[in-house]
Structure 1
Amino acid sequence: MNLEQGVEFTVSEGATASETVLDAVAAVERTDPNDLTPPLYSVVDPEALDAFVESLNDRTGRVEFVYRGHLVAVGGSGVISVRPQSSKASV
């Protein structure tokens, strides 16, 4: 996996989308998720993000936001893509 080009993670059972976003960003940056600042809630409401993903019964839909210089795309299928902000994300 070429971390400089980005990563794709899938929300696993028992995990939330917001937790998976933090794991994916930390993987790209090669750091611990607990060391990420500013906190995720400074750019997106984690509870709203989790509720959005959980509510997509038909598995369609997507939300994108920028966090720590990365374009984060969260798809209704539970796939989370983290790429450098200058890249186009695809989920």
Structure 2
Amino acid sequence: MRESHSASEAVIEAVSRRAGVDPLELETPLYDAVDPDELDGLFDGANRPGRSPVEVTFRYHGYTVTVDGDRTVTLTE
């Protein structure tokens, strides 16, 4: 994953890759599960010294999605 990815882009990329479809072919928009701007805002500067660790979990496209502080996305069914 490129470091320039936002958290929302990382989620869309991971889910589309797991589902085997182009990101534009995902049937459910990400904003139906979580506000992409708010998600990105939580992770902007998440690794700065003095910040508490960040981890967000939500359901999207049939997966439980967990995003951690370095924007690593974990999908479970």
**TM-score, normalized by the shorter chain, greater than 0.5:** yes
Identity of aligned residues (%): 34
List gaps (5 residues or longer) in structure 2. none
After TM superposition, list the pairs within 5 Å mapping 1:51-70 onto structure 2.
51-56=41-46, 57=48, 58=51, 60-70=53-63
CA contact (8 A) 1:59 1:77 kept: no
CA contact (8 A) 1:59 1:76 kept: no
**Which whole-Å CA distance do the structure 2 matches of 1:62 and 1:48 have between them?**
13
1:42-85: per-residue Cα shift (whole Å, max 9, x none)?
A: 1100011011011422471200000011010010122111121x
Output the TM-score relative to the length of structure 1.
0.73
**Which whole-Å CA distance do the structure 1 matches of 2:71 and 2:17 have between them?**
17
Which position in structure 1 is the counterpart of 2:14?
A: 24
1:35 aligns with 2:25: yes
Specify the SS of the correspondent of 1:52: helix
Kindly report structure 1 stretches of 4+ aligned residues shifted beyond 4 Å. Answer: none
Number of positions where the alignment pairs a residue of Structure 1 with one of Structure 2: 74
List gaps (5 residues or longer) in structure 1. 1-9, 85-91
